[in-house]
Homo-oligomer: A and B are copies of this chain.
């Protein structure tokens, strides 16, 4: 027995894919991914129509998808994140229906519960054997964790593994096991290593970013949570990395041994693990080569599925054990609602990812963002799109001051006592508008082009069309 078939087309054909069905993809190869395009090209060539693409994220590299939408091959799109290049097209209304945004935890939950069933999952696998055991830890396109693909493999009716590194059976250190896989296809390359992970992720040198990062670390230090067993998550942006580095200095100096860091993992968090700041890393996605290598080599660095990472519900997930998460925002309003889906003119350029999931789970959810970008103030009366409800956000850190959600009075007192520049979020808003001026209201189309669905399945926001730029 051997599940290797000769081509992607043969696997699609054997999978029984028909018009109107749903195909799924994961995004660990990020902007280096070849697999989604290869598969959709074949699907289009086979004359299939009316498909839904459910991807954990879509990047600019997936621009050919727009052609398949225009041609009617694809009529439904679901994702947790859509990059700016594609987002502009969706905001113009290229899709007849509405894009469905779910969170990194909500997506696998919806798949598991049959709310968004997947007919055929295509797993881009940096290493696989002929029976479908596969992992992202090895191979020329190694990307590390395959965390977002676990639910697709577990719940899709048919599962196709596509690899450029077919290893002898049984593959050692598999992430997804053969009992979930129907077909295996070997191709020349599943991705461009340059786009998959960056060689190194770098902390910011921008003075505004450094100031925010230093505030962020001091907020954590003052929060009362930075003690034995501390748990932490942050992103891969420059200011987040700088905040982690400042935090590391504090933890090493104070000899604080935390329990874990989670989420997308960077070399910066690997350094913290090695420095003894954490006992383990819980990794749903690797952002750089150092993280990939650590996941492969260090048993304290463990791969988690998106379910284990972030799925909502009574069983809980890693996010429910988080002390502090550092998050970004394109906009935040005076009720602390955060937008990470659109820019301030309403054009899609992101998505929740794990934003809402970690904000809901963590004891302190901290947003760090500059007061304005390109002369557009970041704090508004009402965000263009609610990605994460304000009740889950505890504190906003900007270069001009720190605002604490009134529902967290204790934190406010602690930050004040630590001498941090705490002010009301309305004061911060006015301060920013004093520099940039009040922005003009943005005009928006009537059509809903995307729905933002919260982690529990509730409708959070509707994103409206934006006229094409001249």
A374 to B170, CA, bound (A): 42
Point out the residue from B180, B229, B280, B314 that lies within 8 Å of A172, measured CB to CB. Answer: B280
Which of A76-84, A194-202, A300-308, A446-454 contacts its partner? A300-308
Q: Is A396 an interface residue (CB 8 A)?
A: no
Point out the residue from B131, B170, B304, B305 that lies within 8 Å of A316, measured CB to CB. Answer: B131
Report A1-37 CB contacts with B as 1/0, cut-off 8 Å: 1010000000000000000000000000000000000
B307 touches A179 (CB 8 A): yes
Report A285-320 CB contacts with B as 1/0, cut-off 8 Å: 000000000000001101011011001001111101
B169 touches A321 (CB 8 A): yes
A365 CB to closest chain B CB (Å) equals 15
**How many copies, total?**
2
Interface hub of A173, A177, A315 (most chain B Cβ within 10 A): A315
Point out the residue from B1, B180, B280 that lies within 8 Å of A170, measured CB to CB. Answer: B280
Chain A facing B: main interface SS: loop
Who on chain B is nearest to A129 by CB? B321
A179 touches B299 (CB 8 A): no
A308 touches B178 (CB 8 A): yes
A170 touches B305 (CB 8 A): no
A177 touches B308 (CB 8 A): yes
B170 touches A315 (CB 8 A): no
A178 touches B318 (CB 8 A): yes
Q: Is A128 an interface residue (CB 8 A)?
A: no
Q: Show the binding face of A for B, using Cβ within 8 Å.
A: 1, 3, 131-132, 168-170, 172-174, 177-182, 229, 259-260, 279-280, 282, 299-300, 302, 304-305, 307-308, 311, 314-318, 320-321
Top-9 shortest CB links A-B: A179-B308, A1-B320, A179-B307, A177-B308, A1-B316, A170-B260, A179-B315, A179-B317, A172-B280
User: Can you list 27 A-B pairs, Cβ within 8 angstroms, ordered by A?
Assistant: A1-B320, A1-B321, A3-B316, A131-B316, A131-B320, A131-B321, A132-B315, A168-B229, A168-B259, A168-B279, A169-B259, A170-B302, A170-B321, A172-B279, A172-B299, A172-B300, A174-B302, A177-B304, A177-B307, A178-B308, A178-B315, A178-B317, A178-B318, A179-B307, A179-B315, A179-B317, A181-B315
